[in-house]
């Protein structure tokens, strides 16, 4: 193809048979170890996730972006990988869920880009069955390159030898992490605890890296060829938001931000102004639009309820007819009231009539699309909160799965609010329509 550029870089996808096997810990440890050897490491996260990338950024020292064949598309993923290959000595991709779970799956991603796969398996309750699990992961999809296996939560060196000896021919042993040591990453209802809240995160990552490297240097994966989309085929956004100032809430309560979403707004020409509702900072007066991403407002109820400057400024912004995009936690922070898991309820700014409370279980999860007059925007939903409102939805999202549950999308003036997290690169022009004054 004319204009196509091919670059090479050692690369590997780190996957598992299921969630909770330790992929993030292992990916962070490998990134840290190679970075300590002086290598430039770039890490990606497969699928929709805000929390794992925070840990991976700490480990690699570089920004982490998503690779998802459904949300972003193959061309978008190819461009991200090719750019990283030009800048790095090693590319790591952390998988999501199990290797073969979902459509498209991590295996689909590995096959599309010819990435070798390292299988991370929680082996604390198995012995030789470890080898059978590895064999199944390796042979379920023809053409998949399962290059190695790593055992997590291992009980002893003797246990590790049994696991290693069970591996089928052609699958390399990449070592193990023992259970019960100091590199476990804490979690809460939506996944891992945010990286900034784990004071000794760097120490935990370094301990895991040291444990993996204790028996010898970690091998570099083979070089993979990446093809950057040509200029003629790349879907570059125009400058539809040229000169538009967009305030972006960013703090411990509003931290669920795709790096690629910010990239897209900048590529569209927007000028981003970050502010902290938790610190009671008002919406910057020099902006024309407001973006309230998701996060953990339920963990900061008192601070947000008492943030009068923020509340007054967001009401004034809305009254002036300026655009607001509020996703998940951002939407919850605009209701009449919000309650935490214990039932403690506080008043909020009240741009949206209704209230919400945190529940003990998952309310909705999955990949979704939102069809607007401007086009389709893809993304996902994942929340434990339940919303009660008299508002009629302006739109309903379309779940990717046949049995999925749609999410309501509300419009009040120029406010667009939903539990749905949009992935802006999926349709920059449609996103520009939401933010354009």
Residue 360 to residue 341: CA distance in whole angstroms: 7
Residue 13: Cβ within 10 Å count: 30
Concatenating the DSSP letter of every residue in 87-128 gives H-SEEEEE--SSTT-SSS-HHHHHHHHT--EEEEEE-TT-ST
Cα–Cα distances in angstroms (integers) from residue 33 to residues 86, 93, 118, 185, 262, in the given order: 21, 15, 16, 17, 29
Cα–Cα distances in angstroms (integers) from residue 322 to residues 282, 301, 315, in the given order: 15, 26, 10
Residue 34 to residue 41: CA distance in whole angstroms: 7
Tokens of residue 378, six digits: 């893809």
Backbone φ and ψ of 429, nearest 5°: -65, -40
Q: At what angle do helices 201-213 and 51-60 cross, to 10 degrees?
A: 70
Say which of 9, 58, 106, 328 is annotated catalytic.
328
434 and 327 Cβ atoms separated by less than 8 Å: no
Burial 200-213 (b: 16+ CB within 10 A, else e): ebeebbbbbbebbb
Question: Of 79, 95, 91, which is closest to residue 35 (Cα–Cα)?
Answer: 91
Partnered with residue 92 across adjacent β-strands are 12, 43
Question: Of 366, 356, 358, 363, which is closest to residue 333 (Cα–Cα)?
Answer: 356
Question: Of 137, 135, 132, 128, which is closest to residue 110 (Cα–Cα)?
Answer: 137
Q: Is 77 a catalytic residue?
A: no
Active-site annotation, residues: 328
């Amino acid at each position: 193809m004319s204009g196509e550029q091919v670059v090479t870089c050692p690369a590997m996808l780190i996957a598992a048979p299921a969630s909770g096997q330790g992929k993030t810990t292992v990916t962070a440890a490998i990134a840290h170890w190679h970075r300590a050897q002086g290598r430039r490491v770039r890490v990606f996260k497969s699928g929709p996730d805000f929390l794992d990338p925070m840990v991976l950024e700490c480990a690699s020292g570089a920004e982490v972006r998503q690779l998802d064949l459904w949300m972003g598309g193959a061309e978008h993923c190819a461009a991200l990988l090719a750019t990283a290959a030009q800048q790095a000595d090693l590319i790591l991709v952390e998988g999501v869920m199990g290797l073969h779970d979902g459509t498209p799956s991590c295996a689909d991603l590995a096959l599309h880009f010819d990435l070798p796969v390292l299988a991370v398996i929680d082996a604390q309750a198995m012995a030789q069955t470890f080898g059978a699990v590895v064999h199944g992961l390796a042979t379920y999809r023809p053409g998949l390159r399962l290059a190695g296996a790593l055992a997590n939560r291992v009980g002893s060196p003797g246990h590790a030898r049994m696991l290693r000896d069970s591996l089928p021919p052609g699958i390399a042993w990449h070592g193990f992490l023992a259970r019960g040591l100091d590199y476990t990453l804490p979690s809460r209802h939506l996944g891992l605890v945010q990286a900034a809240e784990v004071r000794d995160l760097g120490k935990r990552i370094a301990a895991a890296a040291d444990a993996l490297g204790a028996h010898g240097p970690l091998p570099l994966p083979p070089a993979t060829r990446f093809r950057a989309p040509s200029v003629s085929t790349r879907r570059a956004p125009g400058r539809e938001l040229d000169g538009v100032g967009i305030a972006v809430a960013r703090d411990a309560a509003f931290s669920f931000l795709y790096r690629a979403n910010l990239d897209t707004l900048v590529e569209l020409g927007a000028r981003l102004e970050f502010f902290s509702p938790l610190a009671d900072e008002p919406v910057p007066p020099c902006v024309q639009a407001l973006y309230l991403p998701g996060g953990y407002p339920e963990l900061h109820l008192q601070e947000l309820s008492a943030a009068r400057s923020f509340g007054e400024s967001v009401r004034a912004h809305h009254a002036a007819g300026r655009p607001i995009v509020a996703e998940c936690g951002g939407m919850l922070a605009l209701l009449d009231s919000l309650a935490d898991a214990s039932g403690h309820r506080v008043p909020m700014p009240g741009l949206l009539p209704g209230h919400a409370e945190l529940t003990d279980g998952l309310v909705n999860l999955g990949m979704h699309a939102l069809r607007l007059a401007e086009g389709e925007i893809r993304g996902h939903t994942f929340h434990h909160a339940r919303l009660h409102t008299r508002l009629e939805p302006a739109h309903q999202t379309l779940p990717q799965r046949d049995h999925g549950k749609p999410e309501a999308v509300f419009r009040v003036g120029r406010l667009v609010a939903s539990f749905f997290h949009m992935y802006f690169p999926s349709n920059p022009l449609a996103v520009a329509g939401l933010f354009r004054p």
